[in-house]
Amino acid sequence: MSLSSKSAGYANGAFEYSVDDRRNSCELESKRHSNSTDTSTSVGSGVPNVLDTEGDQQPQRENWGNPAEFLLSCISMSVGLGNIWRFPYVAYANGGGAFLIPYLIVLFFIGRPLYFLEMILGQFSSAGSVKVWEVVPIVKGIGYGQALATWYVVTYYCVLMALAFFYLFSSFQAVLPWTVCKAEWSTNETACYNSSGNLTGLDITNTSKSSAELFFYKDVLKLAENFDDGLGLPEWRLSLCLLLCWILIFATLAKGVSSSGKVAYFTALFPYAVLITLLIRGVTLPGASEGILYFVTPQWEKIATAEVWYAAVTQCFFSLSVGFGPIITFSSYNPFRHPVYRDSTIVSLADTGTSILAGITIFSILGNLAYESGKPIEEVVKGGTGLAFISYPEAISKFDAVPQLFAVLFFLMLITLAIGSAAGLTSCVITILCDDFPSVKRWIITAVVSVVSFFIGLIYVTPAGPYVLDLVDYFGGGFIIYVLVIVQTIALCWIYGLHKILRDVRFMLDFGLGIYWKYTWCIFIPIALLVIFIYAMVSYMPMRTGDGKVYPSGGSGIIFFNVFLRTQTPL
């Protein structure tokens, strides 16, 4: 489907589509009148399931099989690893309740309005996340910038899926390997205690670590003690798991939305059953209430810091997948009159509920670890991206009956979440390439993206790879997307024009929008994001690892410079 046409084109920067696209734009300006009198079709005729492209016979754009596939795909995309994996560790790193309150505020005034805006943009244009920006040609590079940031993120999302596969395969053992200590894990500096046992009354010191934590860092990652010595060679077991991940993603995406929409039925619904089971077990553990209180109790001195608000905004973008492009891409496969307002509300509520559910689950487990070890909650485990692979297995090890079964179910859940997130992100990149190279078959583009991404992902499964992952997560995903969302909002609301967006929405959905949407889009979001961003950059502190070490300035500098180049894309 083409954004522009020979018969209509754009008028004064507004969305203008030809009658060949069967999209009757609400921009009824003089140029539109003069160009649409010959072959006009009525709105009542409806929008066909597959829309033809102009003149030349380019590949037709697909539609979702039914509305449920679109909704579940959005839920699978937004309610994914960002909630189960990233939200708890970001909340843990930013003081629990000190993070939760800013996050909920950001979600209501920034996340939800932006999510709806991206749905509108994709559905009205029926274009991918690059072509859609022909509406404001000066910032067309936003789509390419989003694609680069998305590729950054998807390469390490698949590494998280590979870790889940490794744990899944390890769960088919008589004794779960992370529940008992190995002799080589205990040193003069670190004592190991079994995660499956009751630690009350044992002599636990500040240097003691659980078998689940040591299993993750020493047996799974084989984490390098010093990240100044280079990356090292990829861990072969994780490399094979990573290969399996990309084979699954290729199989999911090779046929387009006709295949990924069917997968969404499972990837969107199955995780809730497992997460609720873990929640019930977590809240019944001794000390769980202290962990939950830590999660919901605000620390007002931290709420006043820019770092917490910056973390809340970037987590909101990750959680909802705002700014990455998949929401625009998914919505572009909708019929023109599809009720995206309803869907955006459902997804936003599901996303918020899942994040809180995951947060309560994780912090109840952390409360139990603090209770049994005698440590403060903020010191019971090393923070960082590995938190979910320590705390969740800790909870599983405390199931009295058949913990292997719950381990298998949990890591299957993580894998399904990762497939939903990674497939959604990868489909955005693939759609852009398919739009730019329409003569190349989709499965070929999907195969090339999968192979290249696999080899990039091997960096993260080296002994020093997790340190690189933390840096890419902070700069590559969060920083780039933050800048691009600011540019995107200003381009749409101030250059394209808020009044045009409101007229487009009224034409497409047959109702007008209230002041909440007008003021959040046009005033609150751009100003708030700019203020938080400037404040966070002025007060920026060097990144630290989970155990407090400062990342090497060289590594941070290289990634920051690379990210800076990517943020120039809109220009």
Instruction: Answer whether residue 111 is part of any domain.
Output: yes
pLDDT above 60 (res 313): yes
Residues of the binding site for Na(+): 79, 83, 319, 417, 421
| DSSP 8-state code for residue 11 | B
Q: What pLDDT is recorded for position 39?
A: 33
Contacts of 371 (CB under 8 A, 6+ apart): 200, 285, 286, 287, 290
Enter the tokens of residue 157. Answer: 């999302």
193-382-540 Cα angle (round to 5): 170
Contact assessment for residue 185 and residue 211, using Cβ atoms and an 8 Å cutoff: yes
Residues of the binding site: 79, 83, 319, 417, 421
Instruction: Answer whether residue 37 is part of any domain.
Output: no
Q: What pLDDT is recorded for position 52?
A: 36
Looking at the DSSP bridge assignments, the partners of residue 544 are: 550
Contacts of 278 (CB under 8 A, 6+ apart): 361, 392, 395, 396, 406, 410
State the CATH number of the domain containing residue 289: 1.20.1740
For residue 189, how many other CB atoms are within 10 A of its CB?
Answer: 6
To which residue do tokens 């072959």 refer? 39
Q: What pLDDT is recorded for position 88?
A: 85
For residue 107, how many other CB atoms are within 10 A of its CB?
Answer: 21
CA distances from residue 181 to 195, 208, 410 in whole angstroms, order as listed: 8, 12, 22
Instruction: Answer whether residue 356 is part of any domain.
Output: yes
Total number of domains constituting the chain: 1
pLDDT above 90 (res 444): yes
What's the pLDDT tens digit per position in 204-251?
555 677 788 889 988 999 988 766 677 889 999 999 999 999 999 998
Instruction: Answer whether residue 58 is part of any domain.
Output: no
Instruction: Answer whether residue 39 is part of any domain.
Output: no
Mean pLDDT for 162-188 is 88
Mean pLDDT for 454-474 is 87
Enter the tokens of residue 422. Answer: 């990674």
Amino acid at residue number 275:
L
CA distances from residue 187 to 133, 193, 336, 372 in whole angstroms, order as listed: 57, 12, 64, 21
Q: What pLDDT is recorded for position 433?
A: 87
Enter the tokens of residue 473. Answer: 């997560």
pLDDT above 60 (res 556): no
pLDDT tier at 7, thresholds 50, 70, 90: very low
- The lowest-confidence range among 20-34, 82-96, 170-184, 316-330 is 20-34
Instruction: Answer whether residue 71 is part of any domain.
Output: no
Return the closest-CA partner of residue 267 out of 88, 109, 471, 412: 412
Instruction: Answer whether residue 7 is part of any domain.
Output: no
Amino acid at residue number 193:
Y
Instruction: Answer whether residue 189 is part of any domain.
Output: yes
Residue 224, domain extent: 97-567
What's the pLDDT tens digit per position in 79-115?
777 788 788 888 888 888 889 999 999 999 999 999 9
What is the model's pTM?
Answer: 0.77
Q: What pLDDT is recorded for position 417?
A: 81
Looking at the DSSP bridge assignments, the partners of residue 210 are: 193
Contact assessment for residue 560 and residue 540, using Cβ atoms and an 8 Å cutoff: no
